[in-house]
Every structure is written in structure tokens, then in C-alpha cells.
């Protein structure tokens, strides 16, 4: 027996949604697409060709295995999950809907295979403007730039026609990548646009460091340090980047904080869209920004952290929905989750709470797995469920704080930027929930909704969370 390969997904969907003759009989006779599995729930590929064993084959089938066990099906065939003893649990007229839902779940499963591996990370630029010199520290995915991938239009390198070039660069060890960067120094310098007044500065690379020991499955960050001399006319400095480097976060550092007496809330922090420039940065002090500009920027950052970059948070919100698509229990869960993550987001941003990402990220994945399992075994709203969601919300708030730690908060507008980011996160969650609520309005009251949609979706969420937990523990 061999596991069902991913290229057999159409066979799976067809078998799930087009049961052959005799399917309603108590014996559960399965024909055509399904092969008898003497060992239980293992399936065999129809054409007998060998199939690559992978963890995602298991993930693909796990929701259906779990459903079969939960429903206590008497037959040992996996296809029995679509039937309730002597008759189907859903009318034949509903099969097109089920076909679509099965396809959606299978596509989602396939798409969940380690997405973080080739995700394009936003560039972070730390700038220090002195009286006669500017120092720039860029932290970014250098392999994306070297491969010629446009980071302003690409969220995942797998979706780009230069994915093979990226993979070859990502396979280089740290010294080899550093040498490649040195060979492309002219292109790197050309991509950085520093101006003092009307004069374009000529920076040089004074240092290269590459994040060591990062598994190939995860993105690796490179830090470039550039310096440039300033003219003696006292003009402020403006930073821009080649649009191909994508949007970037800029954070101003004081050159001599003790001497200048500058506090962090007096300095400039901003999120710059691809192809645009920073505000002029004076050689002394920070930058005053309009409140509505801060509000808009940080709302966008908050939304962006959920859609498209917050896949784990999206899956968690889906888990809350599949617990109950009705608005009252859903509202209770989302409200508790929002209050909890707002608390730890504020505390962590204020540096009152500090927990390492290597601890928080696996626990977030574990929270996703727990929610999926609880949806199946205890589908009732109560103080226990809400208490669990509150605890998990505290964890997710720490995860949100890591994003703000990278981007930084907007100096003297600290409170406004924190509130705006939180608003953006909530708007992102609402965007996730709207299509789910629309779907729920049409099918949630159907008799087959729980066994046909809620349980398999929750099982998939549980398996995905478990996979992420193991992956994050291993990769640190």
C-alpha cells in the first residue's frame, strides 16, 4: 500500500462527491476510485505507480481519517465518512456544494505546505544621520534581490518565474553568499538612493553579515552596512530605494543619544511604499509627522500582517468560525481574542513583557491545533472555551508585537501608531471572516454542515497547527 499522492487529489474529490452504486448499503461497498485497504484507512494509488511519501500526503488525508474515527464508522473504508449507517447524511442535490467544499479544503491543504520558506520579507532600514556622515543598515532577503525578483509585486518566490535562481542562491552557504554580494556591490549601491538636498550621495558598503544557521526551508536575512559622507551645508537626508526592493520600514537612530539628549520617541519611524522616499531627516532631532499619515500607515501595516502575511492568525480565526458560524458565539470568541491580544501587544511594545520568539511561535501553532481539536470534541460555547481563547489571544498579541518590533513605532505618536496597528489587525480579521460568514449564512443550518464541513475543516486546522508546531520547534 502507498499513500495517496497530491496529484491524486482529483480522484479523492470525485470519490468523495460521486459515490458509486451500493454506497448506501450497510456493507458500504466501495468501487471504482477506492481500493480495499486491508490495514484500515490506508489507500492505494489507482495506477499502481510509486508515489513519493511526504508529510503533506498525511496532512491531506488526516482530516478524513479523523472524521472516520470520530463518526465511529463500522466500515473500515475511508469513504464511509460521507455516509451515516444505512443512508447518506446529505441529499444528493447537495453534492455539487460538497464537491466545491472538498476541493476548497484540499486546495487549502496543499497551499499550506511550508509557505514561510520562500516568503518575501519586507526590508528594514536603520538610518543614523550625523553632522558629516550618514550610516545605513539594511536588513533584507538578499537572495530575492540577486535573483532579480521584484519584491514589490512578489509575496512568495515560488510564484515567480525566477524561483529556481532564488533557490540556487538560497542554497549557498554564508561565505559564498557574501562573496556574491561583493561581486554585485555596484548594483546594490545603485539601488540605494540617498540625497542631501539636491545632491545624490555615493554610499559604500562597509560591512556584510548573513544570518547563520537558518534552515533552507526558512527565509534568511542579510544585513548590509553602508556609509556616505555628507556635504557641509546642513541639508536634511532623504532615503529612497529601488522599487524592486519593495516597501520598507525606516527607523532613525540618534548618532550620539547621550550627547544629543534625544529620546527614542523624538526620532523618525515610517513605513514607505515601494518607489517612494522617506521624509527629509534633519541632522539633529527627529521628523514631525501629520497624525493622519501615522494613522493610515500603521493601519495598513496591521492589515498587511494578517492579509496576506499572517497565515497562522488567519487559520486561528477560521478555527473560531468553524466552532460556530452563528454570529453570537462567534462575536463572543472574537471579542475575547481581540481584548487578549490587545493587552499583550501593548505590554510587549512598552517592553513590560518580553518573551522570545522561539517560545511564542511554537505556542501559537499549538493554539491553532488545540482550537481545531476542541471544535470537534467539545463544540459548546462556555467559560472554558472563552478562557482558552483569552490565553491564546495573549500569545498571538506577543506575535503581533514582533512585527512592531521590526517596523518600530512612530516616535512621539507612539500611542496613535499602536492603536492604528491594532485597528489594522482587526480589519484584517474582519476581511477573513466576511466570506466565511457569507458561506455560513447559506449552509450552516444544513444537516450535513457539521459532519461534512465543520469537522473536516477543524481537523485540517488541527493537523496544520500540529505540523507548524513541530516545524517551529525544530527550526527554532
Structure confidence by residue, pLDDT tens digits, 10-36: 333 343 333 333 333 333 333 333 333
Q: Strand 222-229 and strand 133-140: pairing?
A: antiparallel
- Mean pLDDT, range 122-142, rounded to an integer: 92
pLDDT tier, 251 (very low <50, low <70, confident <90, very high otherwise) = confident
> Given CA atoms 43, 48, 54, 57 in this order, what sign does their dihedral have?
negative
Work out the pLDDT band at 409, boundaries 50, 70, 90.
Answer: low
Q: What is the CA radius of gyration of the chain?
A: 26
What nine digits make up the cell of 90?
446529505
In the chain, the percentage of residues whose pLDDT exceeds 90 is 36
pLDDT bin (cut points 50, 70, 90) of residue 402 is confident
Instruction: Name the percent of the chain lying above pLDDT 70.
Output: 71
What cell was used for 194? 540617498
Asked if pLDDT for residue 466 goes beyond 70, the answer is yes
Q: Are 218 and 117 in contact (CB under 8 A)?
A: yes
Mean pLDDT, rounded, for 3-9: 38
Q: What is the pLDDT of residue 257?
A: 52
Q: What's the confidence (pLDDT) of residue 285?
A: 72
pLDDT of residue 187: 95
State residue 476's pLDDT score. 63
Give the mean pLDDT of the chain: 75
Q: How many CB atoms lie within 10 A of CB 43?
A: 24
Give yes or no for residue 150 having a pLDDT over 90.
Answer: yes
User: What is the residue-wise DSSP string for 181-211?
Assistant: HHHTHHHHHHHEEEEETTEEP--EEEEEEE-
Residue 46 predicted with pLDDT over 50 = no
Residue 404 has pLDDT above 70, yes or no: yes
pLDDT in tens, 190-244: 999 999 989 999 999 999 999 998 888 778 999 999 999 999 998 999 999 999 9
The DSSP result for 317-354, as a single string, is HHHHHHH--SHHHHHHHHHHHHHHHHHHHHHHHTTS--
- Residue 447: which pLDDT band, with cuts at 50, 70 and 90? confident
What average pLDDT score do residues 250-272 get?
Answer: 67
Query: The dihedral of CA 221, 222, 223, 226: what is its sign?
Result: negative
**Confidence bin at 471 (pLDDT 50/70/90):** confident
Most confident of the ranges 26-35, 65-74, 187-196, 290-299: 187-196
Can you tell me the mean pLDDT for 233-256?
89
Confidence of residue 449 (pLDDT cuts 50, 70, 90): confident
- Position 324 pLDDT exceeds 70: yes
The arithmetic mean of pLDDT across residues 171-198, rounded, is 94
CA-CA distance, 118 to 116, in Å (whole number)?
A: 6
The half-sphere exposure of 27 on its side-chain side, counting CA atoms within 13 A, is 6
Q: Assign 465 a pLDDT band (cuts: 50, 70, 90).
A: very high
Amino acid at each position: 500500500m502507498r499513500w495517496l499522492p497530491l496529484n491524486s487529489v482529483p480522484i479523492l474529490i470525485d470519490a468523495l462527491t460521486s459515490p458509486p452504486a451500493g454506497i448506501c448499503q450497510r456493507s458500504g461497498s466501495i468501487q471504482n476510485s477506492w481500493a480495499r485497504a486491508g490495514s484500515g484507512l490506508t489507500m492505494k494509488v489507482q495506477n499502481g505507480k510509486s508515489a513519493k511519501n511526504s508529510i503533506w500526503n498525511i496532512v491531506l488525508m488526516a482530516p478524513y481519517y479523523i472524521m472516520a474515527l470520530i463518526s465511529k464508522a463500522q466500515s473500515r473504508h475511508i469513504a464511509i465518512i460521507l455516509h451515516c449507517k444505512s443512508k447518506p447524511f446529505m441529499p444528493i442535490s447537495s453534492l455539487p456544494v460538497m464537491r466545491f467544499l472538498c476541493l476548497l479544503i484540499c486546495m487549502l491543504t496543499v497551499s499550506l505546505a511550508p509557505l514561510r520558506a520562500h516568503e518575501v520579507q519586507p526590508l528594514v532600514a536603520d538610518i543614523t544621520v550625523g553632522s558629516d556622515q550618514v550610516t545605513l543598515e539594511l536588513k533584507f532577503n538578499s537572495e530575492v534581490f540577486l535573483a532579480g525578483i521584484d519584491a514589490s509585486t512578489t509575496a512568495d518566490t515560488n510564484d515567480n518565474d525566477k524561483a529556481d535562481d532564488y533557490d540556487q542562491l538560497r542554497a549557498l552557504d554564508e561565505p559564498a553568499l557574501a562573496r556574491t554580494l561583493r561581486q554585485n556591490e555596484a548594483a546594490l549601491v545603485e539601488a540605494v538612493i540617498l540625497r542631501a538636498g539636491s545632491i545624490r550621495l555615493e554610499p559604500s558598503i562597509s560591512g556584510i553579515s548573513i544570518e547563520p544557521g537558518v534552515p533552507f526551508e526558512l527565509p534568511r536575512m542579510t544585513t548590509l552596512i553602508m556609509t556616505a559622507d555628507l556635504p557641509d551645508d546642513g541639508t536634511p537626508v532623504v532615503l529612497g530605494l529601488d522599487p524592486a526592493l519593495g516597501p520598507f520600514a525606516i527607523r532613525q537612530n540618534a548618532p550620539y543619544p547621550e550627547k544629543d539628549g534625544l529620546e527614542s520617541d523624538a526620532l523618525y519611524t515610517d513605513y514607505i511604499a515601494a518607489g517612494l522616499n522617506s521624509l527629509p531627516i534633519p541632522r539633529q532631532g527627529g521628523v514631525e509627522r501629520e497624525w493622519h499619515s501615522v494613522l493610515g500607515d500603521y493601519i495598513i501595516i496591521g492589515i498587511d500582517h494578517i492579509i496576506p502575511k499572517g497565515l497562522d492568525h488567519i487559520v486561528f480565526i477560521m478555527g473560531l468560525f468553524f466552532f460556530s458560524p452563528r454570529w453570537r458565539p462567534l462575536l463572543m470568541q472574537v471579542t475575547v481574542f481581540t481584548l487578549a491580544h490587545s493587552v499583550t501587544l501593548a505590554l510587549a511594545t512598552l517592553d513590560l513583557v518580553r518573551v522570545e520568539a522561539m517560545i511564542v511561535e511554537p505556542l501559537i501553532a499549538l493554539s491553532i491545533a488545540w482550537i481545531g481539536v476542541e471544535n470537534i470534541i467539545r463544540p459548546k460555547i462556555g467559560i472554558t472555551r472563552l478562557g482558552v481563547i483569552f490565553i491564546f489571544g495573549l500569545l498571538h498579541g506577543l506575535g503581533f508585537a514582533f512585527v512592531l518590533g521590526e517596523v518600530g513605532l512612530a516616535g512621539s505618536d507612539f500611542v496613535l501608531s499602536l492603536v492604528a496597528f491594532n485597528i489594522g489587525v482587526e480589519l484584517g480579521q474582519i476581511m477573513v471572516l466576511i466570506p466565511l460568514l457569507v458561506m455560513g449564512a447559506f449552509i450552516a443550518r444544513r444537516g450535513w454542515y457539521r459532519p461534512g464541513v465543520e469537522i473536516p475543516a477543524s481537523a485540517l486546522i488541527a493537523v496544520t497547527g500540529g505540523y507548524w508546531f513541530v516545524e517551529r520547534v525544530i527550526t527554532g
